[in-house]
Structure 1
Amino acid sequence: MNLTRSEARERAELISVDSYDVNLDLTRGDEVFGSTTVVRFSARQGASTFIDAVTAAVSRVTLNGVDLDPAEVSDGVRIQLPNLAATNELVVEADAFYMNTGEGLHRFVDPVDNEVYLYSQFEVPDSRRMFTVFEQPDLKATFRFTVTAPSHWDVISNSPTPEPVPAGSLEEGGKNATWSFEPTPRISSYITALIAGPYQSVRSELRSSDGRVIPLGVFARKSLMQHLDAENVFKLTRQGFEFYEAQFGTPYPFEKYDQLFVPEFNAGAMENAGAVTFLESYVFRSRVPDATVERRAITILHELAHMWFGDLVTMRWWNDLWLNESFAEFMSTLAAADATEFKQSWTTFASMEKAWAYRQDQLPTTHPIVAEIRDLEDVQVNFDGITYAKGASVLKQLVAWVGQDQFMAGVRQYFGKHAWGNTELKDLLSELEAASGRDLKGWSELWLETAGVNTLRPELEVDDDGVITSFAVLQSAVAEYPTLRPHRLAIGFYDSGEDGKLHRTHRVELDVDGERTDVAELVGRQRPDLLLLNDDDLAYAKIRLDPKSEHTAVRRLRDIAESLPRTLVWASAWDAARDGEIPARNYVELVLQNIGSESDSSVVQVLLRQLATTLAFYVAPADREAMTAAAADSLWELAAAAAPGSDSQLQFVKSFAGHAVTDEHLDTLAGLLSGDRTLEGLQIDADLRWELLTGLVAGGRLGEADIAAEAEKDATATGQLAAAMARAAIPTAEAKAAAWEAIVERTDMPNAAQRSAIVGFSRVHDSALLEPYAEKYFSSVREVWNTRTHEIAQQIVTGLYPSRLTTQATVDTTDAFLESLGDEAPSLRRLILESRDGVVRALKAQAADR
């Protein structure tokens, strides 16, 4: 199943692909479908190579009119192609498996109406699960899909959907039809797509910058259409089109743009050319926090940016995956802030994306942004905080360094020169150098080719009147990654205004480099109440406060008038707590005393997640139960004090449900669930009911009968997932054993149900329930890794690691396993090392909290 970079490079030197004709028969039952592929390609005369095809069975392989024995040339993963001609035609007839893992062609049955829904997910290496293909991004070709399916279905692919024609005999009553799509432009196989089933849609259109009318479609399952706010999706899409076409100087490159919300999706979305698939949770059947609405908007803009960066111009090999994702991440935030209602998106970026990046960059498995990708296994675990968030942060730093106008000018040249081709990092950097006049070789070496995050601290002296007499920025790095980097950043001074708020009164922007950078322009100024390095969040670095600013931040964090500087102070405090520099309980107190005044929904969401992590892992174990109970008390008080019907009220109630541990807490949850207790403005809708119920289940108040009754009321796919989580959260040895068996020992659980059950399994008030499973984890994880698909295996490896058992024994057991593993499975080793680091960090934080 693995493909190495050297194999891909060798194959690309041997062949060039012209076209694929793919004929799919989706009428053959619920396990396999028919897949016939005709590939036309040129090759070095007499050479031999292979083509990828993950199949249930291969019935025919014909190369240039000569039948090859399938049993000899196919092993179910690759088909060997001997003695190639200068021009070749390959025909492969096969049966392929439907998947329930969110990879390849995924099959789902809606429990509401028993209708079948299919969608493809091919990144990184899974188009080979649907058709025969040279599975690597630099072998672009055109793709023509012909699909036979039930006639009442809708069938969507990269090209506009044609009118279907009846298929089969008259006796079959016209129950099947065939859709024959026009060929795509030359694209990589991983962004081809097929979505099929009785999806319903809302249609619209827009006019591209080159005058073309671009049809738009938004799709969802029939049972979800009543909840689909398509007009909001269209509005964001139009705003994104206008912004990107202006910035990129290149019209939208495809014929239409469909956006499809599909069930049991593993990621947030996927940038299939002209047919983007999204996580179905983005169809809001219940009220969600405003942060989730903003996240959907950013995701819509992220995938749209990929139509240019990734789809029109594609990386040559997966070591430049970061550039695809970082560029889309940066551009989606820029577009949201400049072209939509989400003007605070850079605050969200600072609180969510950068927090992810800093966390990932401090793991023992951190890596340079430009990572060495030796094979497919490497890239599959590289969809991480470095590839997305650190890369986007560094691009933001680059834009600040070269200037946004110059950056975009280079990007426009890049698209103009490389449209429909494959590129490497040097191709983009050369255009940015030409546009900006900056030499980016040194910048690239320091920022893209080394790992680790720097820490910046202010050093200042003041006289008796509080006037600054010297000021410097000190930069440090950890011993493992000692690189000191140049930073373009701003320093902000904040003082009290007439309204009692802290406002910025002075700002200076400068380049910081080396261990010490003196800032002469700040000498002679009055020391402010709060001094903030990296104001406006231009740089990628951990920030520390001077003692006076730290005192101000603790006492007056809520008084900082603007959300972005307030978020930077929050981030500094969180980072100090994670590093064990301040007691965890101090961070808990800081959050609970200030979060009620926080206005930004995404910041509230992040703070509540960090609060949960601190209570579960960083607080000293002897005090954890009492502190969790006290925190739940505070969260309920915050919910009661919040404006009726407000976003914060909803978030505080959800967080309270997750921390409810005392009898009084559980009484409150039970009252909310039954309707005997109310909060003004709070609507107990379907999803909130499940959160309340699961809190009661985890607390031992409710059990299987209550879960079954709720599932009967909510007989939807979402209800099934919520029930799976609740069942796994039942605090009995029997329930944990049943969950473990379903997740680990059986192989029939679909990806989304498994994900929910894993979350429920680890949700315990008493971690002793999980103690028997530490040994079971290490005895089974190697087999899981070797026998399951990547997505399923990674869920289990990361989700069931005994992280709640934050003891030295867990570290020692992990080390023994890693020693026995050796170099057998580098990607598995990486995932377990990252989980181990979480326990080590927790032990350090707990020691600081005593």
Structure 2
Amino acid sequence: MPSTEQGVSLELAAHRRATLSDLSYDIRLVIPREREEPITGFTAVTLRWDDPDGKALVLDFVDPGNRVESVIVNGSEAAWEPVNDHIVIDPEPLFPGVNRIELRYRAGDEALNRNDDFLYALFVPDRAHFSLPVFDQPNLKATVAWTLKIPGDWTAVGNGPVREQFGDGSVRTIRLKDSRPIPTYLFAFAAGRFEVETGEADGRAMRVFHRETDKEKVGRNLDAVFDLHGRALSWLEEYTGIPYPFQKFDIVLIPSFQYGGMEHPGGILYRQAGLMLDETATQGQILGRASVIAHETAHMWFGDLVTMDWFDDVWTKEVFANFMAAKIVHPSFPSVNHDLRFLLAHHPAAYAVDRTDGANPIRQPLENLRFAGTLYGAIIYQKAPIVMRHLESRVGPETFREGLQEYLQTYSYGNATWPDLIEIMDRRTPEDLTTWSRVWVEEPGRPEITVERDGDDVVLSQSDPRGRGLTWPQTLGVRLGYDARDTLVVVESRGEPVRLVGMGGAGMRFALPNGTGVEYGGFRLDPDTRAFLVGNMAKITDPLTRGAAWVDLWEEVLDGRLPPGTFLDAALDALGTETDELNLARILGYLSAGYWRLMSPETRTSWAPRLEAAVWAGVTGPLPRTARSSFFSTYRDVAATDEAVDRLRRLWAGGEHLPGITLGESDHIALATALAIRGVPDAEDILDEQGRRIRNPDRKARFDFVRASLSGDPAVRETFFEGLRDAENREREPWALEGLDNLHHPLRARESTSLVYPALEMLEEVQRTGDIFFPGRWVDAVLGGHQEPEAAEIVRNFLDAHPDLSPRLRAKVLQSADMLYRSATIVNGWDGGRP
């Protein structure tokens, strides 16, 4: 019998891949109005079976012993048994060729995200079998036809177009046509009370399903949502040479969706707030909307049309989605410096993982799909696109594009691996891409690039900070700044030191080894460069160079080579001189992080008036509205003095208004939250009033859920935390994470230190029951407000006490704890907790 261990093992997947083909699913669900009532299901799977050994047929389904009512194979009741999360069917009624398996069952709620008046399926990476009986692996692609019997005042959307719908007023049935072949993690539907908007972009009909009750907000955003999708589709068709590969294109906006988006063919799911923006939206949020739309649309080709063979290559679908998104967004925002945006959108987030003891390679081995969710993170979303930029540069943009077109044509509606793509690219270039890929894709960490001045020369040397002797081949664009000009020198870094002869004389002010913004590594600046950048950033005219310099200086702070106060003084001064909005947003982010994580409470108190004054000047200054919104968001985040907190109160109450900025419902909720966390005397009254003001039912439900986490009473907050032990209270993951953020806010960190260890002890259960990003975000929320050595010691003790914690979960903890360790060291002189 094939392997039937918990989850889908590589062994089971390989056996089924070799013996099954031509799959199609007919899935029929009866969905009651009451979420407490079970969803009943019928599934017919048609497949071609060719197993010379005649082994049992294994489907995947959680708790089959309690959920499966009957199994019929080729018209006859079949013998079967439940084993772990599998249905093991006796092979006797099967025969070589086409077979039909019919199952009746009670669907599992785990992956159906049931709410009071809507639900949606979210099956990535291996969660389809949490709710439905399927062959849950990415390389058994199949067509799926949904039939959904729902309450009469609900609507529904899924992978395929509508075949027919009918009803009697109280009950409605919607039958969808067969989809194109897709993996089970892309099977999807949503049903419930949704408003439906129809539109057209570039000649394509589209629908938007949403639950936003603010009609003005919908009106402000709808055209952009249609337009950005239409532009992305047209760009991808032209770049790939392949028409949109699925039958229809719908957009489904979900309140508090777990991710920014999910690329289901026929009905992409998005977090509603990411596309329906408030009037206070920043430039980053506007660009972020365009990027997530481009990302999910790119998946229609990269991930949906061609799917990875196994989830060890999940990064290939994500890297191309992010890589293509950066290209797609460019024409829609011609005034934005897109090289700078690429740098700031990718490098800081990738560095935040790659500098840690928990760094992971881009491509990771995977023995069982139940651990697939732990592969996700900044390395595949942010580092991998940087590596892909390097690959495109090495082979040339046109060769790269031709290689991708061949890859898509060759594996359309099928599966492929990273080596398959490298083989295609290798044939088109003299570069040794296999060796290049081995260090960039298969190994964790980043090179350390050191800049030194040796007389009149500048010397760049590369080393492996982990002591493995690795060399990362890459092209460095070294930006050299002189009194009256600067110049870019392009060199190849392949291990041996690179000497720029005569270029570092007395007139040179700085040397940046990441001068084009695509270079990747831990860059150790020479002391003269560091000092010049700190004191003279405004003298650098190129915004990309300034952005690269800010990223480098922040890394210098975290590595202990630049005092935080010196960096933050420079950042504060830059608020009055920086002209690029992307750089302003990054500087504001560094100021907030430095203020909360790298300053003691006493230092924050003395620093707060100056910080608040500088940030408020940006709110009321002559900048574009989007930039002033960024300043306001930061002001709300850092407000600490009585004067600033009183201003937040007036803004919440309507006694003061922001010039040229209209605050929406979400803004008022954020202000009430900020006031409560700051412990104003009438916090409970403010929260009561805010609860009464909220008109949108989804926002009201979220506010009510997190309310206890805002209490001024530590005992009430602890009760909220204890409630998270119940998996049902973690189902709406963004709500749970918001509550944890409130509990562990820096102003409450010392009161919440006792909650750190029990939260870490819950991590394995959080991983078992949650979606892909939840474990990492859980630890981020728990540790994100702490800087005290006690919290750092708790993490160390937890890891020491749990030697059997899975390596990938251990890595998640180390990644999240890295900033805690550094801040405890920088602020409090922590020695790392080791003798």
Same fold, judged at TM 0.5 (above) = yes
Farther off after superposition, 145-154 or 818-827: 818-827
Equivalent of residue 189 in structure 2, options 174, 187, 194: 194
2:433 — aligned with what? 440
Gap change, CA 1:399 and 1:270, over 3 Å in 2: same
What amino acid is aligned across from residue 476 of structure 2 in structure 1?
L
2:651 — aligned with what? 672
Instruction: Provide the C-alpha distance between the structure 1 equivalents of 2:292 and 2:579, rounded to a whole number of angstroms.
Output: 22
Gap change, CA 1:137 and 1:571, over 3 Å in 2: same
For the 8 Å contact 2:200–2:206, the answer to whether it is kept is: yes
What amino acid is aligned across from residue 553 of structure 1 in structure 2?
L
For the 8 Å contact 1:582–1:849, the answer to whether it is kept is: no
Residue 137 (structure 2) pairs with residue 158 (structure 1) = no
Q: Alpha-carbon deviation of 1:770?
A: 1.2
Gap change, CA 1:744 and 1:480, over 3 Å in 2: farther
* Cα deviation 1:555-584 (Å, max 9, x = unaligned): 222343332221101100111112222111
Residue 109 (structure 2) pairs with residue 108 (structure 1) = no
Gap change, CA 1:480 and 1:380, over 3 Å in 2: farther
1:170 — aligned with what? none
1:227 — aligned with what? 217
Q: Alpha-carbon deviation of 1:494?
A: 4.0
2:256 — aligned with what? 264
1:365-764 equivalence runs, <5 A: 365-461=358-454, 469-494=456-481, 505-519=486-500, 523=503, 527-620=507-600, 622-628=602-608, 630-640=610-620, 642-643=621-622, 646-701=625-680, 702-716=682-696, 717-722=698-703, 724-725=705-706, 727-744=708-725, 747-748=728-729, 750-764=732-746
2:259 match: secondary structure: coil
1:747 match: secondary structure: helix
What amino acid is aligned across from residue 543 of structure 2 in structure 1?
S
* Cα deviation 1:278-298 (Å, max 9, x = unaligned): 111121244221211100100
2:817 — aligned with what? 836
What amino acid is aligned across from residue 522 of structure 2 in structure 1?
K
Instruction: Provide the C-alpha distance between the structure 2 equivalents of 1:806 and 1:546, rounded to a whole number of angstroms.
Output: 29
What amino acid is aligned across from residue 154 of structure 1 in structure 2?
T
For the 8 Å contact 1:260–1:277, the answer to whether it is kept is: yes
Gap change, CA 1:754 and 1:614, over 3 Å in 2: same
For the 8 Å contact 2:295–2:325, the answer to whether it is kept is: yes
Instruction: Provide the C-alpha distance between the structure 2 equivalents of 1:738 and 1:218, rounded to a whole number of angstroms.
Output: 39
2:749 — aligned with what? 767
For the 8 Å contact 1:54–1:96, the answer to whether it is kept is: no
Residue 40 (structure 2) pairs with residue 34 (structure 1) = yes
1:668 match: secondary structure: helix
1:50 — aligned with what? 58
Q: Alpha-carbon deviation of 1:683?
A: 2.9
2:3 — aligned with what? none
2:206 — aligned with what? 216
State percent identity of aligned pairs: 23
What amino acid is aligned across from residue 676 of structure 1 in structure 2?
G
Gap change, CA 1:615 and 1:59, over 3 Å in 2: same
Q: Alpha-carbon deviation of 1:267?
A: 0.7
TM-score, length of structure 2 as denominator length: 0.91
Q: Alpha-carbon deviation of 1:756?
A: 2.0
1:296-307 equivalence runs, <5 A: 296-307=289-300
Gap change, CA 1:163 and 1:526, over 3 Å in 2: farther
Equivalent of residue 59 in structure 1, options 65, 69, 72: 69
Residue 4 (structure 2) pairs with residue 12 (structure 1) = no
What amino acid is aligned across from residue 40 of structure 2 in structure 1?
G
For the 8 Å contact 1:294–1:342, the answer to whether it is kept is: no
For the 8 Å contact 1:618–1:842, the answer to whether it is kept is: yes
For the 8 Å contact 1:336–1:343, the answer to whether it is kept is: no
1:353 — aligned with what? 346
For the 8 Å contact 1:147–1:178, the answer to whether it is kept is: yes
For the 8 Å contact 1:309–1:324, the answer to whether it is kept is: yes
2:272 — aligned with what? 280
Residue 69 (structure 2) pairs with residue 82 (structure 1) = no
What amino acid is aligned across from residue 86 of structure 1 in structure 2?
P
TM-score, length of structure 1 as denominator length: 0.89
1:670 match: secondary structure: helix
Q: Alpha-carbon deviation of 1:156?
A: 1.4
For the 8 Å contact 1:743–1:758, the answer to whether it is kept is: no
Gap change, CA 1:784 and 1:628, over 3 Å in 2: farther
* Cα deviation 1:159-190 (Å, max 9, x = unaligned): 22334123xxxxxx432222222211211111
Q: Alpha-carbon deviation of 1:738?
A: 3.0
Gap change, CA 1:579 and 1:547, over 3 Å in 2: closer
For the 8 Å contact 1:661–1:765, the answer to whether it is kept is: no
Extract unaligned runs of 5+ from structure 2. 1-5
1:112 — aligned with what? none
For the 8 Å contact 2:756–2:782, the answer to whether it is kept is: yes
Instruction: Provide the C-alpha distance between the structure 2 equivalents of 1:303 and 1:549, rounded to a whole number of angstroms.
Output: 41
Instruction: Provide the C-alpha distance between the structure 2 equivalents of 1:340 and 1:241, rounded to a whole number of angstroms.
Output: 17
1:210 — aligned with what? none
Farther off after superposition, 214-223 or 191-200: 214-223
Instruction: Provide the C-alpha distance between the structure 2 equivalents of 1:245 and 1:775, rounded to a whole number of angstroms.
Output: 50
For the 8 Å contact 1:725–1:759, the answer to whether it is kept is: no
Q: Alpha-carbon deviation of 1:837?
A: 2.9
Q: Alpha-carbon deviation of 1:801?
A: 3.4
Gap change, CA 1:201 and 1:536, over 3 Å in 2: farther
What amino acid is aligned across from residue 261 of structure 1 in structure 2?
L
For the 8 Å contact 1:53–1:133, the answer to whether it is kept is: yes
* Cα deviation 1:331-363 (Å, max 9, x = unaligned): 111221245446433322211321111111122
Instruction: Provide the C-alpha distance between the structure 1 equivalents of 2:669 and 2:521, rounded to a whole number of angstroms.
Output: 40
* Cα deviation 1:456-485 (Å, max 9, x = unaligned): 2333456xxxxxx43332212213554221
Gap change, CA 1:722 and 1:531, over 3 Å in 2: farther
Aligned residues: 812
* Cα deviation 1:372-417 (Å, max 9, x = unaligned): 1222343212211111111111001111121111111111111121
Q: Alpha-carbon deviation of 1:783?
A: 7.3
Gap change, CA 1:496 and 1:276, over 3 Å in 2: farther
